[in-house]
Structure 1
Amino acid sequence: MEQSGPRHEEESFLIVGNRSWFRACVDFVFSLAFWIYGLAVFLFFLSATLGWDNGLTKVLHASFHTMDQDVRNLVILAMGIFSLFYIALYINRVYNKKRFGTLQRRTYPSPVDNLELKRLGLMDPETIEKLQTQNYTVFETNPIIALESKKP
């Protein structure tokens, strides 16, 4: 059996879609609007946290009835919760390393040869040879011998 991994034949992962220019323009406009919104929110939090006074901050403070200190408290709370989870996960990682040791990835077994397959006695030697030599095989019945029918 072969190991899993990348295929050797050339594959193309580029997906080509047929969409109209109108749909592409609408997608671009919506995407641009959401990127601008995300940038505005980021700049609001950054300027409110660092105390920079600009038009965006003034408008949003007036709209939401907030002050710079409220935004700073929210950012500090978020950083505290993040730190708490980070420390808890780090402690869990250290505990698992001490308890279970470093985990090793499993190694693939060595390839099975025909002699080992024949020694198992689950298939006739002719069937094994047929499976090894032919690219395409159709069986009318299951070629594997049931375990309970085997005699010791």
Structure 2
Amino acid sequence: MEQSGPRNEEESFLIVGNRSWFRACLDFFFSLLFWAYGLVVVLFFVSATFGLPNGLTKILHASFHTMDQDVRNLVILAFGIFLLFYATLYINRAYNKKRFGTLQRRTYPAAVDNLELKSLGLLDLEIIEKLQANDYTVFETNPIAPLGSKKP
């Protein structure tokens, strides 16, 4: 069993896609549209929360029939719910640390040698060494003994 780690240079890869210029322009346009929408929403909430008057908030307040105080109450409620969840998760973390202690990452098992593999009784020692020595091996019949009947 190999341990996890970074990829070797020859294993890294890039996904290259072929798309038309029309599709690329369409993707760029929609991406730009959604970024602009996100910016408008953030500006609306920031300006309404801190009472910064501008044309955007006036238009959106008129269309949504809201006032700055409504937006402030919504932001305060959301912040309060966030703090409640944060405190609950922090208390749960502290409880688990006290109850179960600090958990350590599991350690990998020690390497298995050929005698341990042979002691399972599923393969002969020659077959084990043949499998380890070659990149691939072709067998005429299945060399693995069924689990019910182990090889002596």
TM-score of the aligned structures, taking structure 1 as reference length: 0.89
Report Cα offsets for 1:97-150 as digits up to 9, x if no partner: 111111111111121122222233332112112112121123344433344424
Q: Distance in 1 between matches of 2:91 and 2:140?
A: 58
Deviation at 1:75, TM superposition (A): 0.3
Q: Distance in 1 between matches of 2:135 and 2:151?
A: 32
Within the alignment, does 1:117 sit opposite 2:107 as a pair?
no
Kindly tell me the number of residue pairs found equivalent between the two proteins.
Answer: 152
What amino acid is the match of 1:66?
A: T
Deviation at 1:14, TM superposition (A): 2.4
1:45–1:73 distance in 2 versus 1, CA, 3 Å: same
Question: Looking at both structures, which has the greater relative contact order when contacts are Cα pairs under 8 Å and sequence separation is at least 6?
Answer: 1
Report Cα offsets for 1:17-50 as digits up to 9, x if no partner: 2111111111111111110110010000000000
Q: Distance in 2 between matches of 1:19 and 1:89?
A: 45
Q: Give the match for residue 21 of structure 1.
A: 21
What amino acid is the match of 2:20?
A: S
Q: How does 1:35-54 map to 2 (within 5 A)?
A: 35-54=35-54
CA RMSD of aligned residues (A): 1.9
Q: Distance in 2 between matches of 1:112 and 1:9?
A: 28
Within the alignment, does 1:10 sit opposite 2:13 as a pair?
no
Q: Distance in 2 between matches of 1:55 and 1:65?
A: 15
The ranges of structure 1 where at least 4 consecutive aligned residues each deviate by more than 4 angstroms after the TM superposition are none
Unaligned runs of 5+ in 2: none
1:64–1:10 distance in 2 versus 1, CA, 3 Å: same
Within the alignment, does 1:97 sit opposite 2:102 as a pair?
no
Within the alignment, does 1:59 sit opposite 2:56 as a pair?
no
